[in-house]
């Protein structure tokens, strides 16, 4: 039997063969699929990359940066998309996001997972020309009753004020990353996923930021939306005047800041109904728990670096974020 702390390469190859969509993990990202194999496995078993070694190596070749948010996102959700959402997603929503069954029963209804899809780096609807560029969801999860947008962060904080279009220099057209994801994500769900409740989750290595927490106050969210309508009239159809208060109250209650360590702990609680020696889902879960443990440790060491050294490290991380 293969030890649980080593990735079952045979299983990876079988799933890669059965599900060609796995090859879309790093589309236009310059990465490789299933790089978790390169980061977990070595001759000596599990390995963690020390912060002084910034690259994931294949032989003697530097191929990927160890602090890449995109690689972390692809490895974790590219694996989770193939596991039973009735197990891992329910555990994550309940234990990490604290979205209770009493308050959000739609998430726990028996048929909620009769539909399940995970998209990585999904392009949301573009706003009117000359306003800003497109917004991209790091991870977008759809079930029968819900749409969940994940913003996946490592060391970098949420953008406090910025534009998604480098050609737009007018700062009146800029807004922070949290509210942009909330509004654009909700608008996308309302237009294309009618009847599904929208949730926004930030997955981060760090503690909750004020840039995010201000929108737990629905009035602040409403102020941002109303201010945006003067530049983006299309939002008036998404946030009608007679229901904007109700919508913003609901949205402000459906946003969560979750740490990667919370995801790891929720996965540890998962129990897949599998029998026999070859328990592929449980083994993938074990690998992810080990992988997240190694990455969390690595990023924690990076956070503990002196400020000037940390900024040097961050500047060396390849970035292609919206």
Per-state percent for the chain, helix, strand, coil, to nearest 5:
45, 15, 40
| Secondary structure of 75-100 in HEC code, one letter for each residue | HHHHHHCCCCHHHHHHHHHHHHCCCC
- Quote the number of domains for the chain: 2
At which of 227, 243, 259 does a domain end?
Answer: 259
What number of CA atoms fall less than 13 Å from residue 121's CA on the CB side? Answer: 15
Supply the pLDDT for residue 299: 85
**Domain co-membership, 47 together with 109:** no
140 and 94 in one domain?
yes
pTM score, two decimals? 0.78
User: Helix 260-268 and helix 280-303: axis angle, to 10°?
Assistant: 150
Order of strands across the sheet that contains 136-143: 116-123, 136-143, 146-152, 197-204, 255-259
- Asked if 28 and 149 sit in the same domain, the reply is no
| Alpha carbon 75 to its chain's center | 11
CA distance linking residue 57 with residue 59, whole number of Å: 6
What's the confidence (pLDDT) of residue 281? Answer: 87
What pLDDT, on the 0 to 100 scale, is given for residue 27?
Answer: 38
State the pLDDT at residue 106. Answer: 94
- pLDDT tens digits for 45-69? 555 555 556 666 656 666 667 778 8
Q: With beta carbons less than 8 A apart as the criterion, state whether 200 and 146 touch.
A: no
pLDDT of 13 reads: 39
271, pLDDT greater than 80: yes
DSSP 28-63: TTT--TTTHHHHH--TTS-----TT--EEEETTEEE
pLDDT tens digits, one per residue of 283-299: 889 889 989 998 898 88
Q: Are strands 61-65 and 197-204 parallel, antiparallel or unpaired?
A: unpaired
Outline where DSSP puts E strands in 131-189.
136-143, 146-152
pLDDT at residue 35, as a whole number: 59
SS3 127: coil
From residue 155, give the alpha-carbon distance in Å to each of 169, 242, 270, 312: 26, 40, 27, 12
On whether both 24 and 137 belong to a single domain, the answer is no
Assess if residue 43 is contained within a domain.
yes
Q: What's the pLDDT score for residue 174?
A: 57
Quick check: is 4 in a domain?
A: no
- Burial (CB count within 10 angstroms: exposed 0-12, middle 13-18, buried 19+), residue 210: exposed
For residue 236, the enclosing domain spans 85-259
pLDDT band for position 211 (cuts 50, 70, 90):
confident
DSSP state of 246: H
- Residue closest to 266 by CA, chosen among 287, 289, 282, 296: 289
Question: 259, 275, 296: which is the final residue of a domain?
Answer: 259
The answer on 181 and 110 residing in a single domain is yes
Residue with tokens 């972390």: 72
Does the pLDDT at position 215 exceed 50? yes
> Does any domain span residue 268?
no
Is 165 exposed, middle or buried (CB count within 10 Å of its CB: 0-12, 13-18, 19+)? middle
Whether residue 153 is found in the same domain as residue 225: yes
User: Which is higher by pLDDT, 219 or 10?
Assistant: 219
Long-range contacts of 101-104 (CB under 8 A, 24+ apart): 104/197, 104/254
Instruction: Work out whether strand 136-143 and strand 255-259 pair parallel, antiparallel, or are unpaired.
Output: unpaired
| CB distance 83 to 285 below 8 Å | yes
What are the Cα distances from residue 322, in Å, to 68, 161, 232? 15, 13, 19
Residues 44 and 169 in one domain: no
User: Domain for residue 201, yes or no?
Assistant: yes
Banded model confidence at residue 114, pLDDT cuts 50, 70, 90: very high
Structural domain includes residue 264: no
pLDDT at position 8 is: 40
- Are 60 and 102 within one domain? no
Q: Which two tokens stand for residue 188?
A: 């996308």
As a whole number of angstroms, the distance between CA 284 and CA 291 comes to 10
pLDDT at 128 over 80: no
Residues 161 and 232 in one domain: yes
Which whole number is the average pLDDT over 176-198?
Answer: 93
Same domain, 125 and 51: no
Task: Yes or no: say if 196 and 189 are a contact pair by the CB < 8 Å rule.
Answer: yes
pLDDT at 44 over 60: no
Asked if residue 89 has pLDDT above 70, the reply is yes
């Amino acid at each position: 039997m293969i030890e649980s702390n080593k990735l079952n390469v045979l299983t990876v190859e079988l799933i890669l063969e059965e599900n060609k969509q796995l090859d879309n993990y790093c589309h236009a990202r310059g990465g490789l699929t299933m790089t978790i194999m390169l980061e977990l496995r070595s001759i000596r078993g599990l390995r963690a990359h020390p912060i002084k070694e910034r690259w994931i190596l294949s032989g003697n070749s530097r191929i990927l940066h160890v602090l890449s948010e995109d690689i972390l996102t692809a490895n974790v959700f590219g694996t989770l998309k193939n596991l039973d959402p009735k197990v891992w997603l329910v555990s994550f929503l309940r234990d990490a996001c604290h979205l209770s069954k009493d308050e959000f029963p739609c998430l726990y209804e028996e048929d909620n997972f009769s539909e399940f899809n995970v998209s990585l780096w999904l392009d949301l609807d573009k706003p009117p020309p000359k306003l800003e560029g497109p917004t991209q969801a790091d991870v977008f999860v759809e079930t029968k009753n819900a749409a969940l947008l994940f913003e996946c962060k490592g060391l970098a904080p949420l953008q406090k004020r910025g534009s998604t279009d480098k050609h737009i220099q007018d700062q009146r057209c800029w807004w922070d990353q949290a509210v942009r994801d909330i509004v654009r994500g909700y608008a996308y769900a309302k237009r294309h996923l009618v009847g599904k409740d929208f949730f926004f989750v930030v997955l981060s290595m760090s503690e909750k930021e004020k840039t995010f927490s201000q929108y737990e106050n629905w009035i602040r969210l409403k102020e941002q939306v109303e201010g945006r309508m003067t530049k983006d009239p299309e939002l008036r159809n998404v946030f009608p005047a007679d229901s904007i208060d109700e919508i913003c109250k609901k949205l402000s209650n459906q946003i969560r800041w979750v740490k990667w360590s919370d995801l790891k702990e929720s996965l540890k609680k998962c129990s897949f109904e599998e029998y026999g020696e070859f328990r592929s889902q449980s083994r993938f879960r074990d690998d992810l728990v080990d992988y997240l443990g190694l990455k969390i440790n690595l990023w924690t060491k990076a956070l503990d670096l002196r400020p000037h050294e940390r900024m040097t490290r961050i500047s060396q991380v390849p970035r292609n974020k919206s």
